[in-house]
Chain A
């Protein structure tokens, strides 16, 4: 095969290689130790330091497209909060997150034999982004008058004494869009709410500046962040299983990039040789 042909290799071959790189690890079910990074550990340590009965708010600002990265984070955070005796409150500013968040909250809550409305609750979705956060700063019960299941806010045991950001121990925004910026600008800067965020890997670089200025106390970075958190709460799940597929597929991309550059430079050197100089 000539070098030019290698540079123009049929992309279906690359698609098949990628499919095998993702499918084989998932089918075999093996897991790797994801290690640990300081931003993830910071979130874990903060939740560990909250007193039982404190409120942990998880904001499900993501849709199905980002589920593989953010759903395992949500499950691990909920599990951690419930195991520490925290009151776990879910809500969302993204309409798709209402159903997804309800699903993961109830799934983990039932698994841990906790009671909805007492140990955890999903307040559901409210439109308005900034307006919702500003409204929560005044009175959460006025913004979310019922929970996702239609139960009045003021009649739930879990929401007793929960009126403003002052009553919340930590807010973790799991986002596939730029809602963490809105939470930082409004909830943290105006009402001194304590924030952490979990985002898809491509978005993580956007939030490192806020980590360094302590506007965020921690950051869960993509599927690796989810896997690290699952390891910390000692409950391997989709995050850790997905990391193997991600490892192999990322190595495939690295190999393709290096191979492509090697072929390109060899091809370029051959083209630069004067004609008739053999080789």
Chain B
């Protein structure tokens, strides 16, 4: 029963949603509207679950004085500060929350992502080697696209942007479309497995 009821719910819900998708009837639209409302409620609850999980993990590390517990303490204190500021004084223009978000969090997050540029440059120098014909073709295409995607490249060779755009629009898109088709077919297959109860990993079972 513990497994059969969730599987039944999964199958019935999926069947109803598929039927609604292909049925242009006003009753189907009303059902879809109700389900969309419920999905948004569940999405909001998912946020609450995520916060609970985050706090539980970090508070446990602080309580046990595990390795790097100081960073967990920073995470919990930061969360508390932002929660108090946001709930207490709002998050709109001119609020403290807005100031901290735009002047502390946003620059920090952008900086973390910017570190990638340095590691990409180092990795490119050490590992991008044209060891085979295929690797040489890939490297050449990458260099041509990088060259054509910046204004300096166009100043040196005026046709560079057109060549880069051609590579993006034709060979790259052809490969991307093939990958997209494969991924989509895989998603359909996985969805059918979940719907029919063959795939049960989401239930925590075997």
Contact = CB atoms under 8 A, between A and B. Distances in A.
Main secondary structure of the interface of B (DSSP, over half): helix
Given A127-B40, A208-B176, A100 B106 contact: yes
B122 A131 contact: no
A135 to B, nearest CB: 4
A249 B155 CA distance: 16
Interface string B155-189: 10000010001001100110011001000000000
A38 B165 contact: yes
A55 B47 CA distance: 31
B70 interface: no
A64 B147 contact: no
Given A205-B172, A251-B150, A253-B146, A68 B110 contact: yes
A261 to B, nearest CB: 6
Given A128-B39, A208-B173, A209-B176, A224 B150 contact: yes
B102 A67 contact: no
A1 interface: no
Contacts of B106: 64, 67, 100
A274 to B, nearest CB: 22
A252 B152 CA distance: 12
Given A15-B118, A22-B117, A261-B130, A250 B149 contact: yes
A248 B117 CA distance: 12
A140 to B, nearest CB: 12
Contacts of A54: none
Nearest to B42: A128
Nearest to B92: A149
Contacts of B130: 261
What interface size band does chain A fall in?
A: 35 or more
A134 B32 contact: yes
Contacts of A149: 92-93
A219 B120 CA distance: 25
Contacts of B32: 134, 138
Contacts of A98: 91
A261 B29 CA distance: 60
A33 B153 CA distance: 11
A18 B117 contact: yes
A128 B125 CA distance: 42
A149 B118 CA distance: 40
Given A135-B40, A248-B152, 12 more contacts: A32-B151, A64-B105, A103-B102, A127-B47, A128-B43, A131-B35, A224-B149, A250-B146, A250-B147, A254-B147, A257-B125, A260-B129
30 contacts: A14-B121, A17-B121, A35-B151, A35-B154, A37-B165, A65-B109, A65-B113, A66-B113, A99-B91, A99-B101, A102-B92, A127-B44, A128-B43, A138-B32, A138-B33, A138-B36, A143-B40, A205-B168, A205-B176, A208-B169, A211-B169, A212-B169, A246-B150, A247-B151, A247-B153, A250-B147, A252-B121, A258-B143, A260-B124, A261-B128
